[in-house]
Each structure stands twice: as C-alpha cells, then as structure tokens.
A and B are shown apart, each in its own frame.
Chain A
Amino acid sequence: MNSSKTRAKTAPVAANGRRTIKVDYLARVEGEGSLQVKIRNNEVVDCKLGIFEPPRFFEAFLRGRSYTEPPDITARICGICPVAYQMSSVHAIESAFGATVPEPIRELRRLLYCGEWIESHALHIYMLHAPDFLGYEDAIRMAADHAEAVQRGLKLKKTGNDLVALLGGREIHPISVRVGGFYRVPTKKELQPIAEKLKWARDAALETVRWTASLPFPDFEQDYEFVALHHPDEYALNEGKLISNKGLDIRVQDYDRYFIEEHVAHSNALHSRIAGRGAYFVGPLARFNLNFDQLSPLAREAAREVDFLPQCRNPFKSIIARAVETLYACDEALRIIENYEMPEQPFVEVHPRSGMGYGCTEAPRGILVHRYRFDEHGQILDAKIVPPTAQNQRVMEADLCAVVTEHLGLDEEKLTWLCEQTIRNYDPCISCATHFLRLEVERLD
C-alpha cells in the first residue's frame, strides 16, 4: 500500500524577531489537521486547531436515501469506529419510527460496541499515546524498550477486532448491522472461542490499567464541563440521557435545544458548544467521571487500586480512563456472552413513517449524535451527524492555550512535544470530524 504522507520537521527559525516551530505532519492521530499557537511577549494570544481536510458531505449523500442505508453509509465515515456510526444511526432511525428491539438484540449491540471500544482504546493507549509519556517518537521505538507492553497492546487490539469481526462479519466496516437488529446473529457456540480470548484480554486490560497509571503525568487540571450519556443501570453505550457535571440533564431528542454547532474560519469541522456556556469535554474521561458507579465491580476496583477516581480533571489521565474502559468492555463482553441466548429472529420489522429521530451513542472518543428526518416512505429528507472530535475541538484549543501558558519556559522542542501530547489526550479522529495535523507555534516577540 502507498501513502503520500511523510513526516517532516523544521528546526526553529529566527527571523525578524519571530520564532516559529513547525511540524508539517503530526503522526499518531487519526486524520489530518493543523495546530497553530501564537505567543506575543510571553503571552499566548491565539490557539487554533485547524481542520483543513475538505468537507466530506456525508449528510448531503444521505438525503433522498432510504432509511435502510445509513448504517452502511455512515460506517464508512471512520475505519476505527464504524460500529459507533452504525449504532447511532440505527437508534436514530428506530426512534423516528417508534421501534424498539428485544433485549437479546440490545445486548448483542452492546457486545459489538465492546469490541470496538477494546480495539480503538488499545490502539490509542499503546500505539498512539503512550510513546508521548515515555519519551519515544513512536510505538516502534518504544517497543525496543517496552516489547512486552506493546505486544500486550497489539493482542488486546486484535481481541477487539476479532469480536467485531465475529459479530459484524469483518473488523472494519462491519456488515451485519441493520435497522431493527442484525442480518445474522451468532449461535451461543460460535461465541465460545472469543470468550476464551476475552478472558486473556480482561487480565491484559487489568495490567493496562496498572501500566497506564504508572506513567508520568503533567500536573495540569482545568474546570471542564464533562458531557456523557448516562444510564442508571449500565455503563452507557447505546442508550440513556445526556448529563454533565454542571447540571445538564436532557433527553437525547432535546440535543439541538442545548447544543449549538457553528462554523469557524480555520476549520472545516463545525465547532460545538453548549448554549449559554461554551466548551465541553466528551470521551472516556467524561464517561468515567459521570458514570463511575455503573462500571463493573472489577473495573471500579482496578481504578481504586491505582487511585484513579472521579472527579479527575487532568486530561492527560484520559489514558487511564481508556484503560479502565477497556477492562470494563472485556468484562461486559464476557457477561453478555455468558448470558447469551440466541434470539428467535435476528431483527424486528420496522415500519417507516414521517418524522424525526435522534440517536446518541458513546463512540470510543465520546458521544456521537445522529439526527434524521424522514418522509412517510422512510426516505431521508435531511441528516445531521455530530462526531465527538468536532465536539471536543473547543476544549482542545482551550487546553492548548492553558498548557502553553503554563509552560512558556520550555524550549521549542519540548513545548511542541507537550502540545502534541495535549491534543492526543482526546484521541482526535479528524477524519471523522471532516484529516493531518500540522503544528505551528509562533512567538511574536
């Protein structure tokens, strides 16, 4: 396979009193974007996360399509979290048509989602983010000194992929999900081999919690508004209401009344904010802080063991939250498999009608909102998709400003490193948000 991407760095340049650090391509993120920090007289005057990948027009592609198509079309938005797109779309469509699915289908959806969480989180923890903490340029160099950890990460990721492939037909862009359920569901016997792998993965995830908690963390905290889906009886994946640590408590169908998307000049992804308040934080740390009580006893105990407790306001510790969630996902997957009874029908019939439906599920990176409006035949009149990275853009920019402000004394190389690490706290999927992160720190002294 080929790629035109190359990694290029230029050294700091001194010209006319201005100093510039430029990283043409920031690796270890999904997609392409740029980052610009302007410093004047030792003060940060501007921080912009620019997403210059052209808009992808998925919402427009969906207009005029049948209600049966969004799970497959929107899954193509992302190779890392296609299940999230499938889940948010089927929930939105079923909500519009007043359909509900039986418990076994609901559980299978959770099981599929667990697979995606495991593979996505393991990839980010071990291959993308951990090198930042341990001082390696990438996971390959890290593996020379931390071979056991990297092998554990790769095997964990594979377990997640295997689970998605088993339920979804293949690990990337699975093909078994449909409105009302699945095209095919597994037999109880078919799930047994993956259960054995998940038992290993659960132990490996527990080790991952301990390993991530041992990393060196910058002393950095902010007063965030964390937003996540909340369900009283389970760690929310597919269903629940939207809550925050600052009083938000709304139904998913009221999303548009409380959240605003707006265009900013430097980004092809829309920025989101909470009406009247501003930036908010979605993803593993938000979920951990808001839904700790719904984690499995094993996941809660592991978090306590490493003294990682809500309310954590240090975004660098998102890597521990990802590890706890990986443990939870293994535990939850095993619970579902143990209790699984094959449904009589793999799906329920859904009858289209005119109306609007919202779906919000927890993608590995945070809440993913879908909204569809249909005519009486179930043809899509308009669609809206709000991915987690777009929602985190404002808070990423705010973090960057604060981190640079607190570390102005660092030399350019260390400051650039810290900026990249700060952005990777959010595991940004720029491909989803509209792809390439270019970092530029400009000192206008």
Chain B
Amino acid sequence: MKRFISWRVPTKWPVFRLDDRLLLIISGMIVGILSGLAAFALNRSLVFCLDFLHSYRAYWWAFILPAGGAALSSLFLSRVVNEGAGHGIPEVIYAVSRYGGLIRLRSSFSRLVSSCLTIGSGGSAGPEAPVVMSGAAIGSNIARFFSFNDRQRVTLVGCGAAGAISSIFNAPIAGLVFVLEVILGEWSTVNIVPIAVASVAGTEVSRLLAGNQIAFSHHTFHISFHDILACAGLAVVTAFMSVILTRLLRHMHHASDKTKLPIWAKAAVGGCAVGLLGFFVPDVMGEGYHSIRNMIEGVYEQGMTIAVVACFAKVLATSLTLGWGGSGGIFAPSLVVGSFSGLAYHRFLVYFFPSVPWVGEGCYALLGMAGFIGGILQAPLTGIFLIVEITGGYEVILPLIIISSLSATICYYFESASFYMKDLVERGQLLRPGTDARVLSDLSISELLEKDCISVPPSMSLREFVGLITRSRRNYFPVEDPETKEFLGLVKFDDIRPYLFNSMMYDAVFVEQIMDTHVAVARYGEDLSDVLRIMDSRGLFSMPVLANKRFVGMISKATLLDQYRKELMVQTYQG
C-alpha cells in the first residue's frame, strides 16, 4: 500500500477525496487572484505606455507609432514565444471544447506583452481578451501542475477567465456570466461556485490595488415607455454594426493572409493605417474608454454626423489592427462602437422627434454598448450584467434586457455563430459538453472494435464454413489471405442463405465465390464521424476495420450506441 500521498496530487488528499468542491473553490480563489494580478499588470503597463507615448502623438510622424507597436507585437508573438496572432478567446473556447482546457504555459504571459505593445502604441483593440487568455492559461497550468482531471481543469480555466474579466471591469457578476455564457457554454452548480469565488477574488485584487472604482461614473436615468419602445430601433442599429464589424474583421484576416509580406510587416501596415485614420478621428485610437466616459456623461460635443463617422471609423480601425496581425481583443472596441451607435441613434431621435422627452444621450450610449456586446458575442446576459455593473446602476435594466436580447436575436439571422465561435463552428471544432459531436469526438474506433470475429481463408469450402458458423456468434466473417494476412473480403451470413439447405453445394462452393470483395471498410485511424457518415450513406450497420490492409475487427452501430451512452454519462456528470 502506498503510504505517501504526493503534495502534487491534492485530489488524493483525504480531505478532498470524497468531494472535490472545496478543492475547486480554494484553487479557483488562487487562480482568481493570479488572474486579477495579470489584469492589473496589463492595465498599469498600458497606462505607462500611453503616458510615455502621449507627448509624441503631436508629431506628424505619430502615425507610425501604432505601426511600430503592432510590428513589435507580431514579432514578439511569432519569433520570441512562437505563437500565432489572434484574439485569444477562441483559443480558450477551443481548448475547453476539445482538450479539457489544456492551454500552453506561454499563453499566460504572451498575449499580455503583445497586446500591451499593440494597444499602448495606439492600436484599436481591447485588453480584455488577452487578460482572459492569460487567466485561463494560469488556471489550466495550475490544474496541470496538480494533476487535476479534465472537468476540474475546465473549471479552473473558467475561474481564470472570470477573475480576469472581473478584475479588469471591477465587475464580478459580469465575469461569472461571461464565462458561463461564452467560454464554457454550460451552467452547472459544480462550475458556478468556484467561478463565482474566482470572480470575487479577481475583483478584490483590483479593488485593493486600484481602488474600488467603477469604470464609468453612475448617472441616474429616468426611462420612459417611449424610450423602451425606441430600444427596438437601437437593437437593429447595434446588430447591424455588430455584423459589419464581424464581417470586416474576417475580410481583413483573409486579405492579410493573401498578402505576401512577413507577418510583422502586415501588422505594421495595419497599424500604419490606424495611425493615419487617427489623425482625422482621434477617438479610434487605443482602447477608447475616454470617449465612452464622455458619451455617458453627456459631454461628447460633436454632432450626429461625426458620431456616425467615428462609429464606422472605429469599426475600420479595429478591423485593421486585429485583422492585419495586431494583438488584442474586441471587447473594448465593441463598447466604443456600441456607445457611438447609441449616441448617434439618440441624436437621430432628437432630430426627428424633438418634442418627445427622450432620456439623456448617456443612457443611449449605455444601451448601445449592451446591444453591441449582445450582438457580436451573441451573449445577451453578459451585455446586460456588464453594463449594469460598470455603471453601478439598475435603472436601465429593462431596456438593457430588451436591447441585448433583440440584438443577439437579429445578429443570429445574419451570423449563425458569435464572433468568437464563427471560425470554430466553420471548422467543426466547437464541441460543447454533452452534444452529439463532442461525444463522438471523444470516442475512437479502437474503443469500439469488436474483435471476436473468426477469419476464414478464401479456399475454405462451404461445408467447413457451415461448421464454423455453428461455433460463432457473429454474422460477419472476414476473409484473409493465409500467407500475407491481407483482408480480401467479407462473407455475411445472408450470403450463404441460398446454399444453406442445399447440401449438394457444400463441397462445390468455396468462400472466395461467395465473399463480397467490394465491401466498405474503415481504416483504423479514421475519424469516427467519417465512418458513421459512410455507414449512414450506405445503410450499413457494421463495417470491417483495416489497418495496414489487415483486418483488425468490426465496428457496429450497436456497440457505438453502448459506448455513446457511457461517454455521455461521463460528460454530463454533475456530481
């Protein structure tokens, strides 16, 4: 008996052996604190970079600053840490969806550095996705170090992401909801408690280090019925803008892929374009929180046309920054575009319906943010709770619910998956727990092989074959070359039925005469979903599996169903 229990395997400690909830709560708290620290570090680094470069922004050559930052960011990712560019969150969702939340250790810091270079130099991107990636990687690697299982690891990945969002926005509920709605895609009690604890831990770290400040100051808004009605129109506007940003970003990605330039040069081209755009519309530079503050406080002075131009310019700047290789996320740009949409929509309402007592434009900026987040992420709850928490007021909760839900629904008609998940869905890589695709992806042909088939040589007579059938429970008999052991064909029980009651044929018919040589076969390493597709298209219930031209067993739908049920029980276990 093993007396010593390793400190590296806390799941085997007596206190945690019966139930791992306490272990997950403690681990979640640690992960939440570390994610909070990562978020704080990035926040401070960004402030430092922006302050440091502020004095240079007045020069005519300042447009190359975002180019330099994006190029450095791209070089850092591709040459120093050997990572591909990207937003980070799709990678986290992919890891959760396919590999039990396994994320590389280097991801815990790589995106922090690269996004700091991109955003700090003026690129139009947000720091939230890199911090989520970092927090998730911290959670994943802590789980790996302590040999947690897949389910526990996924929970800690969620804890890291929740701690990061909670810390950066000082919004614990938004962090929790974002993770459950976007990252994990499932709401189970086993996950909710540790993730909630991590959110609180992340928020507390932020409050201890930066003070208990809400991101945008609280204003009291008195919502009337006509404002709630007007929300429907704003939902259409935000959904429209969400679709434009999603498509333009993808278009920029494709254009960048087709351009024959080094990746750092592509990032520099994108950054340069953003720098030039920033000359004419300064609001597009950086994360853009300053503009949001002005809009919420109602001190944004420019008119409706400028607001509309700024809105489209921010969409373009974000697409240029991220699509051409800069590093960062779309969360902050989404808030900026959403608030510009809300503001422009309010001015439109005031212009055309001047006699209606509309609520202040700051309120519409808030609603626009919620609508845009709900649309582009197709995560209405995240939009609602984020806006409520970052503004510290519940007065706008009713229109928030309406606009987020409507915007998410309208977007769904144009983009069937959210921005984060679109690529994953197109590649068939989004496998939520308990879904058919996920269960099948976790099963392999080797697990389903039925190996009790009796192989026969082609020279076997029907008499010998009939004798063999009486000893076998199977209806399928693979025919093998006696020397090379190569698979030659298959004899089905149905194939010999015509001869079975004619004993005259027993010595006249041989296996090679009745075997089916054109039988559909599966290869040992083939994807189960591909094999099933062949079985469905040909109406088969069983198929022989070959490896290196040799028969290794049969695969049948009956065995598949049996294993499918077992796997489904494992994946949906809530204990």
Q: Tell me if chain B binds chain A.
A: no
Chain B residues in contact with chain A, CB under 8 A?
A: none
